[in-house]
Amino acid sequence: MTRETKDYLHLHFIVLIWGFAAILGMSINMPTVELVFYRTFIATLGLYLVIKARGTSFSINDRRDFWIILGTGALIAVHWITFFLSARVSNISISLAGFATCSLWTAIIEPLSVGRKVKGYEVILGVLAIVGIVVIFNTEFNYFYGLLVAIISAIFCSVFSVINASLSKKYDPYVITFYEMIGAWVSIGLFFPIYSNTIVEKLQLSGSLLDFGFLSILAIFCTVYAYSISVELMKRLSVFSINLTVNLEPIYGIVLALIIFGESEKMTFGFYLGTGLILASVLLYPMLNRRFKQRALSTDIIR
């Protein structure tokens, strides 16, 4: 088994965990902003212990990078809040399907950020995923708001993924995630006065033992482990290939949601057709990417 194959298998396992994150979010009886506030706080504590145990330095030598990492944390906070909000105003299936547009935004944002040409097949596969979303939208119009919020969440995910791809080449992934979680937690704390005075009457920072149990699972497994490893994989896999594979999150999440929530997650044929198109874009990417790499290598040898 090649290193690339192992990386892709590891990535799929992480995406399976992320598919379960939406279910955990729906199981916690707490508003989305407060939920993400606690998730980032618990994740920060967990990452601190992991970094100490590994004996890794917490230092970020470049001050500019330090502030970029903290700012990226704020983007992650917005992504998570909109993601969980989407599931709550529609359902888990719609939220996960809308999030799959991440591949299209990445196909546009990543080349612009690194100054390379946009690869035609990346755009085509991203558009294929969008076609899947359009099919879903046309058959599930009553979930328009949830789908729109999920797409906004996907855009934020694309932006911070591109930023992390650059940072992962310079710093330890656990250290990056640690400071990003601090940035997310602090940004939500700074947002609380506005949130509590304009959006809700008061904050709901209390919860049951079960809520905090689910929050701990969400923070440790879906964040400390899965998110940090995804940053590590960015050293070897392209941002686009990672985000395109993340499009499988709807498939994994929908299957899990059907098993756990039953009837409330059953959708129309059009919905499953749309998710099938998303799955096709995921499966085609590694094959096309390898083919074009081999063609480019053969051209260089001939030259």
Residue 12, pLDDT score:
85
State how far the Cα of 53 lies from the Cα of 207, in Å rounded to an integer: 30
For residue range 105-155, list pLDDT tens digits in order.
887 788 877 777 777 787 788 788 778 877 877 777 778 888 889 989 999
Residue 71, pLDDT score:
96
For residue range 42-91, list pLDDT tens digits in order.
999 999 998 998 898 999 989 999 999 999 999 999 999 999 999 898 88
Q: Which residue has the higher pLDDT, 296 or 246?
A: 246
pTM of the model: 0.82
Q: What is the mean pLDDT of the chain?
A: 84
User: Which pair of structure tokens corresponds to residue 169?
Assistant: 């080449």
State how far the Cα of 98 lies from the Cα of 100, in Å rounded to an integer: 5
Give residues with Cβ within 8 angstroms of 287, minimum separation 6: none
